[in-house]
A and B are shown apart, each in its own frame.
Chain A
Amino acid sequence: MQTHIAAPTSVSIALAGSGGSGVMTAGTVLLAAAAKAGAYGLMVRTSGPQIRGGEAAALLRLGPQAMSSLDDGFDLLLAIDWQNVNRFADEIVLGPRSVLIGDPDEGEAPEVFKATGARYAPLSMKKMAKAIPGAWVNMIALGLSGTLAGLPLQALQDAVRESWKKPDTLEANLKAVAAGAEAAADIAANLASNGGAMARLQATALSAQPRWMISGNEAAGFGAIRGGIRFCAAYPITPATEVLEWLAPKLVEVGGTLLQAEDELASINMIVGASYGGVPSITATAGPGLSLMTEAIGLAVASEVPIVIVDVMRGGPSTGIPAKSEQSDLSFAVSGLHGDAPRLVVAPTSIGDCLGATQWAVHLAEALQAPAIVLSDQFMGQSRAIIDKPVDAGYRAQRLTAEANTPDYKRYRNTPSGISPMAIPGTEGVTYTADGLEHSEAGIPSSQSRDHVLQLDKRQRKLDLFDYGPYWADLEGTGDAVVITFGSTTSAVREAIARAKAQGVDLRLVAMRLLAPTRPEQMAAAVQGARRIIVVEQNHGAQLFRYLRAWYDFPVSPQSHHRPGPLPLRPGELLTALLDWRNAK
């Protein structure tokens, strides 16, 4: 796996305001401008619970290398207005080096931000926008924040040109960007004499690497199609809807189809039906939907029908915190089916890896005729990042199917690998009934002990014996202190490990991509020589830690660092925790 350690010289910017003020658009264009200037970056969306009009913020981090994690705090908070923006105080961490820009005509900056010691620079942005007929205030904010971050005006205006949908107001808004840039120069001059300049991007040479801009949810959708998915049944749910909305037109493009289901019970059963028909199939959901789907995921286990479910995790339990991230569906994903039901659980380790991990999940599900759950999360799914074009690892759907008129065909034959050829409807002479009832090798319902044990063994064996190769985990670094993690937390852990290395402390990373089935031998090799092991994750119950304790033998007793969402684990927080752990007696 290609990986990137974030450079310490990044710039973090929060653009905030009430929904409809255009901060998300400004953030998206700012990210595009950074791309044009040869930089890398990341944009995380955060908003209040309102459907429209609530507080919203675009959280950006820009730098000279690819990043998949936010920094510890923000260099700039620019608010178009202050309506409920104080609710982001925990999320948008400021300090004395930070800059706080607000429109004095929209009221005073909230005390919670001023109290951080951030330097306040009031600017009448709305009046500036009004002075240019047809201009939008968010474009003033774009010019202002982009220039403070060190992006050239040319890149900012080029990005606006590419994204602007109303030609009649384009010129006015290019002027607005320029006006914002001009104001930024004045503010920068003041900052220089008031505590020092704001962090800014150094001029970077345009990256020669082909690069992509992609969100985790889009990446999961593309990974699905590249893996071979041609059918999707969809029921909308935050924060997974974008996977489905991306797939809807794209599946049609490649000769597949997406169907909107009446509920998650339907969507999961629809994909089981479609895949039974021989068409690789997927759905995407979040915790509440996954809960509803579990019975039919068990059906896919028992009837040995390959399916893929992308679970974009959000805060739970129950309805929980729909638009915020948490890694708390892990226990449920690895064990939440009734009966002994072996399944695949795969987790991407970065925004870009949502592509590769989903593609791999399609390959595994099809090869093993089993359900695969992809554990993404809101942070990866809804964040947009500039990444180097991912290498296609080549994983594709390859299902072992039955030949027509196979003599003595038995759908659930007890083969050495546990994988038995699947007859696809339309194939002559091998018809059978797929069944969620326990069955004989021929597929006839059976409550006989012999059949039950045989089929349980078969379904477990095919997962256990499969060669998952090195892709089961990202293994990085050296040293006798090992950090085990998974999912979006990996990026923050990577950055903490890089910072530790800069301080002369070597830490080893095991970022698990394959969570089920378990890989005891590979893990034993990965942690060989470890004198300390710590498990890092974002949930309240230390779910990965407990899972590992149950299934893996470690040379030393592991420790746990875990806390729930909605706030992401920060590299600095992890660095402190990891150094404390590393240096403890």
Chain B
Amino acid sequence: MNEIDNDEAATGCGSTPNALTAASFKSSYKPIWCPGCGDYTVLSSVTKALATMGVAPKDCAVVSGIGCSSRIPAYTTCYGFHGVHGRSLAAATGLKVARPDLQVLVAGGDGDGYSIGGNHFLHACRRNVDMTYLVMDNHVYGMTKGQPSPTTEPDWDSKLSPGGTGLRVFHPLVVALASGANFVARAFAGDLNGTAAIIAQAMKHPGFSFVEILSPCVTFRPEQREWRKLVRPAAVEPTDDAARAARRLMTDDGFNIGVLFAGDRAPYPASMRQPRSTVADLESEFAL
């Protein structure tokens, strides 16, 4: 199920000549990712989901930080912003608040989002700006060749932390929920269509939508090839009750796939666009 699927019917996109397809969103630039990397399929899921939104590439912005998965903006035909490590949510927040007309998608990895960018993750959830955040979680820093991230198991051995970090694993979905994210979901990179559908739902949902995508790193975490066997559709319907969602998330094993919470909190207000005063009016307070 991880081959590229161009069946537009699967995501409900029409087939008129002007219709946007996944291909409309895919750039000709060749990814730097390793063969077999989960991020390839996430890219396909993203382009497929964008095609279902009916928003032209010129009206979409893909914002990222630093890391393997953060290379994704240039692989789309959208406006892209490849900023500094850990600050994608801040850059995207500025962009979306200043330009509420744009469809803003933020993407990155677990190190970028949960470690160096952890504070922005909390506050992006609280702020609830209408944008979607995709984290391609592979429980490792891949670009720097294999160091433990906040989602790495405590006993995972590495050169930087021999014998493991001994640290408790970070639980991004629970943190997102507790911090106020309005949409919380988990997806698996191996399921192109399923992930595309979840991303599309996330983009359509008002406010800050968070999608954690299990995306195997076949180079530094080859054992993650087994994720394919472990993932399963969540046996529950999405809830708008944060307390229920929290109980589910606190007890799940990290392999339940689907939309786990869809809240109804009002998004951060869009930027005021209608001036009430001229610049010259502002001078009056200084005049003697």
Contact = CB atoms under 8 A, between A and B. Distances in A.
A429 interface: yes
Interface residues of A, number: 64
B208 interface: no
Nearest to B269: A257
B108 to A, nearest CB: 13
A256 B271 contact: yes
Contacts of A426: 58-59, 99, 101-102
A273 B89 CA distance: 10
Contact of B78 (A210, A431, A444): A431
Interface string A167-200: 0000000000000000000000000000000000
Contacts of B91: 269-270, 272-273, 276
Interface string A213-245: 110001000100110001101000000000000
A213 B58 contact: no
A425 B83 contact: no
Contacts of B119: 262-263, 265-266
Nearest to B71: A445
A433 B73 CA distance: 7
B9 interface: no
Nearest to B123: A262
A281 B94 contact: yes
A434 B101 CA distance: 19
Contacts of B80: 431-435
A443 B91 CA distance: 18
B185 interface: no
Nearest to B79: A425
Interface in B76-133: 77-84, 86-87, 90-95, 97-99, 101-102, 119-120, 122-123
Given A253-B275, A271-B94, A426-B102, A295 B57 contact: no
A381 to B, nearest CB: 15
A35 B286 CA distance: 12
A254 B282 contact: yes
Contacts, number: 181
Contacts of A87: none
Contact of B93 (A226, A250, A270): A270
Interface residues of B, number: 51
B98 A436 contact: no
Contacts of B276: 252-255
B27 to A, nearest CB: 9
Contacts of B61: 277, 425
Contact of A255 (B56, B102, B275): B275
Contacts of B73: 433
Contacts of A436: 82-84
Contact of B83 (A36, A210, A296): A296
Contact of B94 (A218, A259, A445): A259
B143 to A, nearest CB: 12
Main SS at interface, chain B = mixed
B281 interface: yes
B271 A257 contact: yes
Nearest to B59: A426
A278 to B, nearest CB: 7
A515 B274 CA distance: 37
Main SS at interface, chain A = mixed
B282 A250 contact: yes
A444 B275 contact: no
B218 to A, nearest CB: 23
B120 A273 contact: no
B49 interface: no
A279 interface: yes
B278 interface: yes
A276 B62 CA distance: 12
B160 interface: no
Contacts of B98: 230-231, 257, 273-275, 277-279, 281
Interface in A423-481: 423, 425-429, 431-437, 443-445
Interface in A249-301: 250, 252-257, 259, 261-263, 265-279, 281, 295-296, 298-299
A4 interface: no
Given A213-B286, A225-B282, A429-B58, A256 B272 contact: yes
A263 B87 CA distance: 11
A389 interface: yes
A531 interface: no
Nearest to B120: A266
A332 interface: no
A257 B272 contact: yes
A455 B148 CA distance: 35
Interface string B255-285: 0000000000000000111111111011100
Interface in A500-548: none
Interface string B54-75: 0011110111000000010110
Contacts of B287: 210-212, 389
Nearest to B63: A273
Interface string A36-51: 1000000000000000
Given A273-B90, A274-B97, A436-B84, A431 B77 contact: yes
A546 B237 CA distance: 67
Contacts of A354: none
Contacts of B92: 273
A35 B82 contact: no
Interface in B115-159: 119-120, 122-123
A257 B129 CA distance: 14
A434 B272 CA distance: 26
Contacts of A262: 119-120, 122-123
A299 B83 contact: yes
Contacts of B97: 231, 257, 259, 270, 274
B288 interface: yes
Contacts of A255: 272-276
Contacts of B81: 273, 276, 303, 433-434
Given A212-B288, A434-B81, A444-B29, A425 B94 contact: no
Nearest to A230: B98
Contacts of A79: none
Contacts of A231: 94, 97-98, 271
Contacts of B123: 261-262, 266
A36 B288 CA distance: 8
Nearest to A427: B58
A299 B84 CA distance: 7
B74 A433 contact: yes
Given A212-B283, A222-B283, A253-B281, 16 more contacts: A36-B288, A211-B288, A231-B271, A254-B275, A257-B271, A261-B123, A265-B90, A265-B120, A270-B97, A276-B95, A277-B98, A386-B288, A426-B59, A431-B80, A443-B74, A445-B71
**Which are the 4 A-B pairs with shortest beta-carbon distances?**
A433-B80, A270-B94, A273-B94, A273-B91
5 contacts: A226-B279, A231-B271, A262-B120, A303-B81, A433-B81
